[in-house]
Amino acid sequence: MASDIALWRVDQGSPTRLCSAGLPLESRLEDLIEQDPAVLGEQLLILGRQVPTALGRRVDMLGLASDGTLHVIELKRDRAPRDVLAQVIEYGAWARLRAHADIVALYEEHHPGGDFSSAFYNAFGSPPPEERQRFTDLLLWGSHASDGDREDRTLAEYVVPVVWEKTRAREDAVWLKDMFANQNSACPLRHALTQTILRGEFGDGE
């Protein structure tokens, strides 16, 4: 069964439940995060907003952590539909290939007159690493889950953290007869044959 988490305000000893409300514009949510990225749960340096990608789409926000990990941030004012998960994963693949020089150029393009090294030091109190981590964190932030039965866990949708460790060209993709397939971006994998094949290709820890 799903859990209902609410905020309460206590005035003179009497608790009052606060009503939830969406923000009028996603750009307003971007403003709030840019002012204080810590609302996402981690201190970040915001590299840019509405960052164009080679996919012909724009990442809502791109952030950088103190260890050089890139954070792809996709914001949805109300609902987070299933197809947005696939979109965020595509952004992750694009972001993972960005080199340190790309990050510097991106920051300075989105902050005219700004200096990347100075901004990094101001955010974290240390100089930026010469090479960034090849890990990429993906964050999809919406105020409500997508359509689905909240009482049925098999139909529920989840936002899961993804650490992008490896990228393969499409022509090198793994596909053999009788492997498990699913149209969703992420799902439980319990199919024994598929597990065996993937362990052989990527190892137990990947």
Which domains does the chain possess? 24-167 (3.40.1350.10), 168-206 (no CATH)
CB 131 within 8 A of CB 100: yes
Task: Tell me what the pLDDT averaged over the chain comes to.
Answer: 76
pTM over cut 0.75? no
Query: How far is Cα of residue 17 from the mean position of the Cα atoms in its chain?
Result: 30
CB 70 within 8 A of CB 63: yes
Q: What does each C-alpha distance from 182 to 49, 179, 186, 190 come to in angstroms?
A: 32, 10, 8, 12
| Least confident window among 75-89, 114-128, 178-192 | 75-89
Report pLDDT for 134.
Answer: 61
More confident residue, 198 or 205: 198
For the segment 23-35, what is each residue's pLDDT rounded down to a tens digit? 556 677 788 888 8
The stretches of 135-190 forming alpha helices (DSSP H) are: none
